[in-house]
Amino acid sequence: MDHFPTNWGRPRNDDFDAYSTYPIHSRPKDAFAEGVQHTQQPIVTGTSVLALKYKDGIMMAADNLASYGSLARFKDVQRLHPVGDFTVVGAGGDMSDFQYLQRILDDLIIEEEITAQDGHKLGPAEIHEYLSQVMYGRRSKLNPLWNSLLIGGVRDGKRFLAYVDLLGTTYTASTLATGYGAYIAQPLLRKAVEGKEDVLTEQEARKIIEDCMRVLFYRDARSLNKYQIATINASGTTITESLKLETSWGFADSIRGYGSQTQ
pLDDT tens digits, 89-126: 999 999 999 999 999 999 999 988 887 777 788 999 99
Instruction: Kindly name the residue from 6, 21, 39, 240 that is annotated as catalytic.
Output: 39
Is the residue at 115 inside a domain? yes
Q: What pLDDT, on the 0 to 100 scale, is given for residue 82?
A: 96
Degrees to nearest 5, angle at CA 242 with 153 and 234: 25
> Contact, 123 vs 68, CB < 8 A?
no
Is the residue at 124 inside a domain? yes
Q: What pLDDT, on the 0 to 100 scale, is given for residue 120?
A: 80
Which range of residues forms the domain containing residue 93?
A: 44-243
Is the residue at 86 inside a domain? yes
Is the residue at 17 inside a domain? no
Is the residue at 171 inside a domain? yes
Q: Please state the pTM of the whole predicted model.
A: 0.81
> Contact, 101 vs 134, CB < 8 A?
yes
Q: What is the mean pLDDT of residues 142-148?
A: 94
pLDDT band, very low/low/confident/very high, at 32 (cuts 50, 70, 90): low
Q: What pLDDT, on the 0 to 100 scale, is given for residue 8?
A: 57
CATH number (domain holding residue 78)? 3.60.20.10
Is the residue at 151 inside a domain? yes
Q: What pLDDT, on the 0 to 100 scale, is given for residue 4?
A: 55
pLDDT band, very low/low/confident/very high, at 75 (cuts 50, 70, 90): very high
What is the tally of structural domains in the chain? 1
Q: What pLDDT, on the 0 to 100 scale, is given for residue 252?
A: 73
Calpha distance 65→207 (Å, rounded): 21
Residue 13 has pLDDT above 80, yes or no: no
Is the residue at 106 inside a domain? yes
Mark whether 247 is an active-site residue: no
> Contact, 128 vs 134, CB < 8 A?
no
> Contact, 124 vs 155, CB < 8 A?
yes
Is the residue at 15 inside a domain? no
Q: What is the mean pLDDT of residues 172-177?
A: 96
> Contact, 94 vs 262, CB < 8 A?
no
